[in-house]
Amino acid sequence: MQKRYQVVIVGSGPSAIFAAITLIMNGVKDIAIFEKGKDIQERKRGRGMELLCGWGGAGAFSDGKLTLSPKVGGFLCEFVPQTELTNLLKKADDIYISFGAPKEVQGQSSDKTEALYQEAKQAGLEFIPMEIRHLGTENCAPLLKEIREAMRDKVDIFFETPVKEIFAEGGKAAGVLLEDGTRVNAAFVICGPGRVGAEWIKKEVERLGIPSVPSPVDIGLRVEAPASILLKLTDIAYEAKFIYYSKTFDDRVRTFCMNPYGEVVTETINEIVTVNGHSYAKKKTENTNFAILVSSTFTEPFKDPIGYGKYIARLANLLGNGVIVQRLGDLFDGRRSTPDRINRCITQPTLASATPGDLSFVLPYRHLKSIIEMLEALDRITPGIFSRHTLLYGVEVKFYTNRLELSPTLETKIHNLFLIGDGAGITRGLMQASISGMITANEILKRIGKN
Ligand SMILES: Cc1cc2nc3c(=O)[nH]c(=O)nc-3n(C[C@H](O)[C@H](O)[C@H](O)COP(=O)(O)OP(=O)(O)OC[C@H]3O[C@@H](n4cnc5c(N)ncnc54)[C@H](O)[C@@H]3O)c2cc1C
């Protein structure tokens, strides 16, 4: 390994990959990527950290829904003007297509979209129309392999090489210290550690004195119902995104990650098992699943939303040995679901390993009430979702890193140190994470006179 590079990139998720692609396409040669996980062909789906770490980051085994709306999947619109963001989105999308993403776009707007928008308003819901390019779970890894191949010999990539510290000298980025004690110098450091690196980056920014504010924590349940019940929404919107403000608590509640004909899956991070969902491009189940998440922002003196989310997730694990599933009918009757009751349920669970149980022992009243209210509102536009046979899986938790104080090019107060992607608390999806890498790379190109 060289001990000096022009650019060092931490992580190899979409944010880091798109930073590297942009630099390489513009002739930058002296780049190193340090990734604590494995290369794509060695990664295995569903094995704890391996699911989230390695080439492709958290997106490698994801459903691969590329959201084509600049307003969804992060907060980059607060950093970059709308027209520039739209241009970057188009460029990133073209890159994905050039590496094998399908050409078709789902959820294109029509008269039906407008009608649904109006109907949702009457039900007290805000409908956010959104176009999606759907890679499908089985196509993500091959696409990432193509990108990896294209980068061979153009950038030094080190797997299973965690970065321990970022170091700065005289207010300027100077390089990184690897876990094995090697110091690597660099003129520019780009850090894209993702949500899986949230705790590490939190410590690092505190040590470096980079200001940040706690992000909200989103806690909720995954809902599963026969695909036919949600057909009206999934036919029009594919990824139907609704926002609701709960009557009792005025909390922001939203649907997230809708998977038509998909399956519910578990996600394990640091031994905490949570629930998620995905769908294949070709293989179909009889059900559709989506999450309902309640956003909570804590005020003084509490500053650990990630700790709070983990606590709730651990509680579900404690009671259910992992993920708990409950029929909505059983929740109303104040009793647990049992294997027998689940067997009699019209909706058959796609996650067979979930333990039938009682989610009212897990979620705070505030969250449960808000979720039930939103399901009731959704039932007005998609009758049948508020049924006794709807399945609820818990818990689904989205931890976000503290939002860091960053410049419009995502630079920290330390000159030439950039923080990108989900780990910087500014993006929440593949597309915006990718764009964040491009924004930073473009700035570096300017500084080294290549743009
Ligand atoms: C199951 C699942 C499904 C998803 N589905 C979708 C979807 O359909 N559509 C969508 O838009 N988004 C989806 N997402 C979210 C999406 O994957 C993320 O928003 C995106 O991957 C964030 O990119 P990133 O580069 O910021 O971070 P990540 O992809 O998380 O990558 C960060 C990388 O940095 C590495 N790293 C961390 N710390 C260090 C360190 N100290 N040293 C070295 N390496 C380090 C990690 O190992 C990891 O590989 C999904 C996420 C999950 C978990």
Domain of residue 12, CATH code: 3.50.50.60
- Ligand 1 center to 109 CA (angstroms): 29
Do 407 and 391 belong to one domain?
A: no
Closest residue by Cα to residue 277 from 293, 257, 294: 257
189, 195, 194, 363: which is closest to 293 by C-alpha? 363
Residues 295, 378: one domain? yes
Distance in angstroms (rounded) separating the CA atoms of residues 387 and 285: 20
pLDDT, residue 83, reads 95
- Domain containing residue 308: 217-398
Is residue 11, in this structure, part of any structural domain at all? yes
Helix axes of 14-25 and 82-98: crossing angle, nearest 10 degrees: 90
Number of H helices, E strands in the chain: 12, 21
The half-sphere exposure of 34 on its side-chain side, counting CA atoms within 13 A, is: 28
Q: Which two tokens stand for residue 277?
A: 């969902």
> Which pair of tokens denotes residue 443?
């700035």
Q: Are strands 355-356 and 324-327 parallel, antiparallel or unpaired?
A: parallel
Is there a single domain that holds both residue 181 and residue 304? no
Residues with CB under 6 A from ligand 1: 10-16, 34-37, 52-54, 57-59, 62-65, 67, 73, 162-163, 192-197, 200, 267, 276, 421-423, 428-431, 433
Q: Which of 410, 430, 438 to mutate to test the pocket of ligand 1 (most atoms within 8 A of CB)?
A: 430
* Residue that finishes a domain, picked among 398, 414, 437: 398
**From CA 115, how far away is CA 274, in angstroms rounded?**
35
Q: pTM to 2 decimals? A: 0.82
- Nearest residue (by CA) to ligand 1, atom 47, is 53
Secondary structure of residue 392 in the 3-state scheme:
strand
Could you list the pLDDT tens digit for every one of the 451 residues in the chain? 779 999 999 999 999 999 999 999 999 999 999 999 999 989 987 666 778 899 999 988 887 889 998 888 999 999 999 999 999 999 999 999 999 999 999 888 788 999 999 999 999 999 988 889 988 888 899 999 999 999 999 999 999 999 999 999 999 999 999 999 999 999 999 999 998 898 899 899 999 999 988 788 999 999 999 999 999 999 888 778 999 999 999 999 999 999 999 999 998 877 899 999 988 878 899 999 999 999 998 888 888 888 899 999 999 999 999 999 999 999 999 999 999 999 999 999 999 999 999 999 999 999 999 999 999 999 999 999 999 999 999 999 987 777 889 999 999 999 999 999 999 999 999 999 999 999 999 999 999 998 7
Residue 304, domain member (yes or no): yes
What is the model's pLDDT at position 47? 60
- 449 CA → ligand 1 middle, Å: 31
Residues 138 and 236 occupy one common structural domain: no
What lies within 8 Å, CB to CB, of 114 at 6+ separation is none
Same domain for 427 and 370, yes or no, is no
* 145 occurs within a structural domain: yes
Ligand 1 atom nearest residue 14's Cα: 25
Please indicate, yes or no, if residue 121 is contained in any of the structural domains. Answer: no
Q: What angle do CA 141, 147, 152 make, to 5 degrees?
A: 120
Residues 185 and 233 in one domain: no
To the nearest 5 percent, what fractions of the chain are helix, strand and coil? Answer: 35, 25, 35
Domain assignment of residue 273, yes or no = yes
Same domain, yes or no, for 28 and 93?
Answer: yes
Per-residue 3-state assignment (H helix, E strand, C coil) for 104-129: CCECCCCHHHHHHHHHHHHCCCEEEC
Check whether the bond before 301 is cis (ω within 30° of 0).
yes
Give the total number of structural domains in the chain.
2
pLDDT for the residue numbered 48: 62
Residue 117 within any structural domain of the chain = no
115 located within any domain: no
Claim to verify: residue 284 and residue 175 sit in the same structural domain = no
The DSSP-derived string for 239-300 is S-EEEEE-TTT--EEEEEEEETT-EEEEEEETTEEEEEEE--SS---SEEEEEEEEEE---T
- Residue 23 lies inside a defined structural domain of this protein: yes
Torsion of CA 158, 162, 165, 166, to 10 degrees: 40
Q: Is 306 in the same domain as 264?
A: yes
CA distance 255 to 177: 40
Q: For residue 57, report the distance from its CA to the centre of ligand 1, in Å.
A: 4
Q: Are residues 290 and 411 in the same domain?
A: no
Domain end point (choices 361, 377, 398): 398
Q: Give the closest residue to 217 by CA, choosing from 429, 430, 433, 425.
A: 425
51 and 140 share one domain: yes
Token pair for 150: 């294209």
Amino acid identity of 326? Q
* Residues 350 and 316 both lie in one domain: yes
Using the atom order of ligand 1, give the atom closest to the CA of residue 423.
26
Residues 6+ apart with CB under 8 A from 75: 403, 426, 427
Mutation to probe ligand 1, out of 61, 196, 207 (largest number of atoms < 8 A from CB): 196
Provide the angle, in degrees to the nearest 10, between the axes of the packed helices 82-98 and 430-447.
Answer: 100
CA–centroid distance, residue 326 to ligand 1 (Å): 29
Start-to-end C-alpha separation, the chain: 28
Q: Give the CA distances from residue 402 to residues 17, 152, 155, 194, in Å, rounded to whole numbers and listed in that order.
A: 22, 34, 30, 12
